[in-house]
Amino acid sequence: MKEKLKTIIRKLTWTYNPATEREASDSTARNFLLHWFPAKVTKKSMSFSYSMLLGTIILTLFLILTMTGLILMFLYVPSVGKAYWSIKDLQFVVPYGWFIRDLHRVAAQLMVAVVFIHLVRVFLTGAYKHSEKIVGSYRPLNWWIGLALLLVTMLLSYTGYLLPWDQLALWAITIGDHIALSAPVVGSAISRVLIGGTIIDQNTLIRWYVAHVFFLPVIISLLILWHMWRIRKDGGLAVVEALGIERIKEDKVVAKAKTYSLMGIVTGITPTITQYRVRGEAVSSSPNLTRRVLVVMVLVTAVSMGLAFFYKAPLEQPASLMWTPNPAKAPWYFLWLQELVADTTIRLGGLTISGGFVGGIVIPTVLLLFAAAWPLIDRSPEEAIGVWFHKSRNLQNAAFILVCTVIVALIYVGAVMRGPYWHLYMPWQHWIKMPTRF
Amino acid sequence: MPDNDREGNNTETRISRRRFLTYLSGFLIVGGFLMQGVAALRSLFPRVLYEPPTKFKVGLPSDLPEGVKFIPEHRLFVIRNGDRFHSISAICTHLGCTVNLAKYSPPKEYKARSGQEISETYEFHCPCHGSKYREDGDVYAGPAPKPLPWFKMYLAPDGQIVVDTDVTVGHEFRLQV
């Protein structure tokens, strides 16, 4: 009996704990959950010092968000009259409702932060660059998918932020809507679609809700899958190119084999088999990579849960257009944009261009276009791919770090140094707390 | 030599059944998707808006206090100067926040662009991005691109003052009661 039980457990778990090299390479083909891992992976690809495992961290956060989000959907009512009170209930009445909400918010904010760090990591290691070494590899594509993922992550955060229908939510939509309105020609049409009318009301809430719980999650899921699939198509993380790749090309007559799979080999053709061998120590994905992924997932979940106890989601007064909180601040990841829209109104003689358009639309679009075009502009050598701070990339790395520092500095100014009426205060100065009730 | 079919009709100018069906089905598929796309997009632009009216009553002239009064539900300031009234929007022209009323006593002195010394008892300050407006709605600080608009006012038959936020007026406008 005990032996039988052991056999059953062994049959269920051998792919995660292979006894031989043969079983290890078999496991990625046999186990559905493991099929997106390669059979072998270099130690460098798995190392924290290269990738910092940011992708796995983001995926874990996304899974936490999906699960807590699904539970929240049972408890939240997307109606102007009820939304705020359903969040109040969640906070004070629903058993553990506060925990689910806080965990959702913590994971969301972590996700925005880690996605940004991931982008920084990919830039500084030159991992977005194209090289001719691996057939079928085109890393710039994954960079563009990554930029799309960054945008969708920001949109998910923004739309989620609006749902509690408190003052924070209302004034975030108001500002977003007016940024859209400040665009020439198409501004009012975009605003119409975004808020579903001319004032922010039920139409707006239901639009943002459907975007938040359906459209954006579906889009981001598809993009995530594509992003991961591209890593495999590109031959793994960019670090393998830095390790060096031997290309062994040989013409081989493949013996006719009986096969019923799609991978069956057509007879009468002599396929050229090109082998790539990465220099550097390779080990089996199972259990080396799977174990790391598991540890990261457990740690990220633990950290998010822990933070959820200390980092409380705020709920301000119910939404009211009659008065604006003073100061009215966007969530931290949008504060750099808020700082920009407040500072970039241009006055040239009689002509005035609103900062809403310059800082809210032009600057972010230019930054995004630059980021998208960068893999095509970057002329650094192939040796720079997959290496942190390669010396041939010093100039562009410095420029990139400068842009990132400016963004972080603007966030800091917006968060710490802006008081009532958006006046500038030094970090050690205190400002008068303005009343939060009209 | 012309192409003839079995009945001897010229087929050169006619299209074959296969091609006809290909075109037809292609047209139907593309047309069907286009219709769905147009329907989906058009449905997002509401035909009827259940929104509060842009013309509304703000009360009898005798009920309005001397000086400036904020009417929160309409996001509007109504200003009375004896028997003369005008109204200024409370929606910041930068990004749409509701501006706050800042009162000054003693009055604040400043030099207008014309060089004239002016004293004012109130100003409008925006809490979101720090725009500041003079008592006539002119921007003098912050990112706001335009002055606060003035709205047309008139008397309703029942004697109440009506504000029409669809019609903006110049700074010379006053409703004399």
* pLDDT given for residue A71 in this prediction: 96
Q: Which amino acid is at A171?
A: W
For residues B103 and B144, state if they share a domain.
Answer: yes
For residues B78 and B128, state if they share a domain.
Answer: yes
Indicate yes or no: CB of A193 within 8 angstroms of CB of B44. yes
* pLDDT given for residue A343 in this prediction: 84
For residues B121 and B147, state if they share a domain.
Answer: yes
Q: Which domains does chain A have, with CATH numbers?
A: 32-422 (1.20.810.10)
For residues B77 and B142, state if they share a domain.
Answer: yes
Any B CB within 8 A of A198 CB: yes
Contact B167, B151 (CB under 8 A): yes
Any B CB within 8 A of A171 CB: yes
Measured between CA atoms, the residue of chain B closest to residue A167 is B97
| Segments forming the whole domain that contains residue B22 | 1-47
* pLDDT given for residue B8 in this prediction: 65
Indicate yes or no: CB of A178 within 8 angstroms of CB of B145. no
**Residue, of A59 and B103, whose pLDDT is higher:** A59
For residues B91 and B129, state if they share a domain.
Answer: yes
Question: Residues A84-120: pLDDT tens digits?
Answer: 999 999 999 999 999 999 999 999 999 999 999 999 9
Cβ atoms within 10 A of the Cβ of B96, count? 24
Indicate yes or no: CB of B146 within 8 angstroms of CB of A356. no
pLDDT surpassing 70 at residue B118: yes
* pLDDT given for residue A271 in this prediction: 56
Contact A355, A345 (CB under 8 A): yes
Q: Which residues of A touch B123 (CB under 8 A)?
A: none
* pLDDT given for residue B155 in this prediction: 92
What distance in Å separates the CA atoms of residue A99 and residue A62, rounded to the nearest whole number? 17
Indicate yes or no: CB of B129 within 8 angstroms of CB of A192. no
For residues B112 and B139, state if they share a domain.
Answer: yes
**Chain B contact probe: residue of A80, A320, A345, A351 with most B CBs at under 10 A:** A345
To the nearest whole angstrom, how far is the Cα of B97 from the nearest Cα of chain A?
6
Measured between CA atoms, the residue of chain B closest to residue A329 is B128
* pLDDT given for residue A259 in this prediction: 47
To the nearest whole angstrom, how far is the Cα of A107 from the nearest Cα of chain B?
27
Q: What percent of chain B has pLDDT over 70?
A: 93
B95 band by pLDDT with thresholds 50, 70 and 90: confident
CATH number of the domain bearing residue B106: 2.102.10.10
Q: Which of residues 234-253 of A touch B (CB under 8 A)?
A: none
For the four alpha carbons of A378, A382, A386 and A387, in that order, the dihedral sign comes to negative
* pLDDT given for residue A134 in this prediction: 78
For residues B108 and B144, state if they share a domain.
Answer: yes
Looking at the 3D structure of chain B, how many domains does it have? Answer: 2
What distance in Å separates the CA atoms of residue A64 and residue A208, rounded to the nearest whole number? 21
For residues B62 and B41, state if they share a domain.
Answer: no
Indicate yes or no: CB of B125 within 8 angstroms of CB of A174. no
Closest CA to A189 of B44, B175, B56: B44
The packing angle between helices A139-162 and A363-377, to 10°, is 160
A88 three-class SS: helix
Q: What percent of chain A has pLDDT over 90?
A: 47
**Chain A contact probe: residue of B128, B132, B146 with most A CBs at under 10 A:** B128
What distance in Å separates the CA atoms of residue A277 and residue A290, rounded to the nearest whole number? 22
Q: How far apart are the first and last CA of chain B?
A: 94
Indicate yes or no: CB of A341 within 8 angstroms of CB of B96. no
What distance in Å separates the CA atoms of residue B140 and residue B134, rounded to the nearest whole number? 7
* pLDDT given for residue A118 in this prediction: 97
For residues B36 and B87, state if they share a domain.
Answer: no
Q: Which residues of B touch A422 (CB under 8 A)?
A: 126-130, 142
A-B interface: how many C-beta pairs under 8 angstroms?
Answer: 101
* pLDDT given for residue B23 in this prediction: 94
What distance in Å separates the CA atoms of residue A335 and residue B129, rounded to the nearest whole number? 11
For residues B89 and B107, state if they share a domain.
Answer: yes
What distance in Å separates the CA atoms of residue B165 and residue B49, rounded to the nearest whole number? 17
Question: Residues A360-385: pLDDT tens digits?
Answer: 899 999 999 999 999 999 989 988 99
User: What pTM, to 2 d.p., does this model score?
Assistant: 0.88
Name the stretches of chain A with pLDDT < 70. Answer: 247-276, 435-438
For residues B17 and B65, state if they share a domain.
Answer: no
For residues B9 and B80, state if they share a domain.
Answer: no
Token output for A400: 């990139």
- The arithmetic mean of pLDDT across residues B105-130, rounded, is 82
- Could you give the ipTM of this predicted complex? 0.81
Indicate yes or no: CB of A328 within 8 angstroms of CB of B97. yes
* pLDDT given for residue A264 in this prediction: 46
Q: Which of residues 64-123 of A touch B (CB under 8 A)?
A: none
Nearest to B129 among A177, A197, A342 (CB): A342
* pLDDT given for residue B7 in this prediction: 67
Q: Which residues of A touch B143 (CB under 8 A)?
A: 341-345, 354-355
* pLDDT given for residue B161 in this prediction: 92
Q: Which residues of B touch A356 (CB under 8 A)?
A: 94-95
Q: Which residues contact B147 (CB under 8 A, 6 or more apart)?
A: B93, B133, B136, B137, B138, B139
Question: Residues B9-32: pLDDT tens digits?
Answer: 665 667 889 999 999 999 999 999
Indicate yes or no: CB of B95 within 8 angstroms of CB of A353. no
Q: Which residues of A touch B93 (CB under 8 A)?
A: 354
DSSP classification of residue A313: P
